[in-house]
Structure 1
Amino acid sequence: MRWRFRQISDWAVSWAGHPVVPVTLVAFAVIWTAVGLSFSFPRGWFLLTNMIGTLIIFFILLLVQHSQNRDMMALHAKLDELIRSSKAGNHWIAVEKKNAEAIEGMRRQHHDQISKTAN
């Protein structure tokens, strides 16, 4: 089930990111509004359209966020492996899980070490 969701979400995110999609949606909205105004559709029709559009946007937002979170986890794993295999200090591994003050302290300490070696 999990791999199926990943497959569907990857497909939906790549489809939603295609450059033709926004142009098509704007054209569809203009045509929909023109047809609705010319045939005097009731106000509820436009409210329903607005609700459906909002739900679709919310769903796509969640899919994009899911995809971005997965990509960031993969990126962090790759960076951690590069740190492990290099001469860099292993204290930088999984630094993204620390709080902001700890990260800032590590950054300042690293900057101070670079300044001392440069002088």
Structure 2
Amino acid sequence: MAFEKIRAWLTQLGVLTARPAAFALFAVYGIAWIVLGNGLEWHSLATLATWGMTLVIQRAEHRDTQAIHAKLDELLKASRRADNELMDIDDKDAEEVEREREEVRAQSMRE
């Protein structure tokens, strides 16, 4: 039970880092680091650049994933043979999604 809560928390943390508020928090942190720290030394700049690029990549990946999911949801709605229960799979943890995929694959092998 505790592992499920941790996994859910980690998933939610990943989603939160893709939000615009994460960029605002990063900017505030960067300014505080420069003002209150040792200024803008090379290692500070490298660390901030790495964190900033991580946020940019996370945001782009989140956007792409959401677009794919929206398209797949639309295809599920349009297909009469599709199992509409899969449209809610986005709300599950990664491990649960993997189990669902294995079940779908097993069903397709039986058909």
TM-score, L = length of structure 1: 0.48
Equivalence map 1:1-119=2 (5 Å): 48-87=41-80, 88-100=82-94, 102-117=96-111
Higher-Rg structure is: 1
Cα deviation digits, residues 4-24 of structure 1 (max 9, x gap): xx8xx9xxxxxxxxxxxxxxx
In the alignment, structure 2 segments of 5+ residues that lack a partner are 1-19, 24-37
Structure scoring higher RCO (CA < 8 A, sep ≥ 6) equals 2
Q: Is the Cα contact below 8 Å between 1:83 and 1:89 reproduced in 2?
A: yes
CA drift of 1:102 comes to 4.3
Indicate how the Cα distance of structure 1 residues 114 and 70 shifts in structure 2: closer, same or farther if over 3 A, else same.
closer
Q: Is the Cα contact below 8 Å between 1:83 and 1:93 reproduced in 2?
A: yes
Q: CA RMSD in A?
A: 2.8
Aligned length: 74
CA distance in 2, matches of 1:57, 1:108: 36
